[in-house]
Amino acid sequence: DVKVTQSSRYLVKRTGEKVFLECVQDMDHENMFWYRQDPGLGLRLIYFSYDVKMKEKGDIPEGYSVSREKKERFSLILESASTNQTSMYLCASTTSRQGVYEQYFGPGTRLTVT
């Protein structure tokens, strides 16, 4: 089974702190994604990466950066956390097999910035 893991389920940080969220997948997927999920807004794409050291901005990249040094690991960085970044953060990776497009999600990190 594909497994996507995230470093923390719950995280509490203070305003202005630098925050690292880690994501690891074990299926050799090229594509990895970071989303944030807020009530009533669905999943919004922050950044994605289609290869090691490659990254592209999603719909809401402001205040975030990412790092992909190894194929299995994709990190999301909040340079200076703010209260409006309190949210659920979901990591995902993708495969395409026989024309079926399927994303695998990690369990999520619920981040609270105080």
Partner 1 sequence: GQSLEQPSEVTAVEGAIVQINCTYQTSGFYGLSWYQQHDGGAPTFLSYNALDGLEETGRFSSFLSRSDSYGYLLLQELQMKDSASYFCAVRSAGGSYIPTFGRGTSLIVHP
Least distance from C-beta 4 to partner 1, angstroms? 8
Q: What is the DSSP string of 4-45?
A: EEES-SEEEE-TT--EEEEEEESS--SEEEEEEEETTTEEEE
Least distance from C-beta 10 to partner 1, angstroms? 11
Q: Give the list of residues 6+ apart from residue 15 with CB closer than 8 angstroms, or none.
A: 81, 82, 83, 113, 114
- Tokens representing 73? 């690991």
By CB under 8 A, is residue 42 in contact with partner 1?
yes
Least distance from C-beta 100 to partner 1, angstroms? 5
Our CB check for partner 1 shows the closer of 11 and 43 to be 43
- Residues near partner 1 (CB under 8 A): 31, 33, 35, 40-45, 48, 50, 58, 90, 94, 96, 99-108
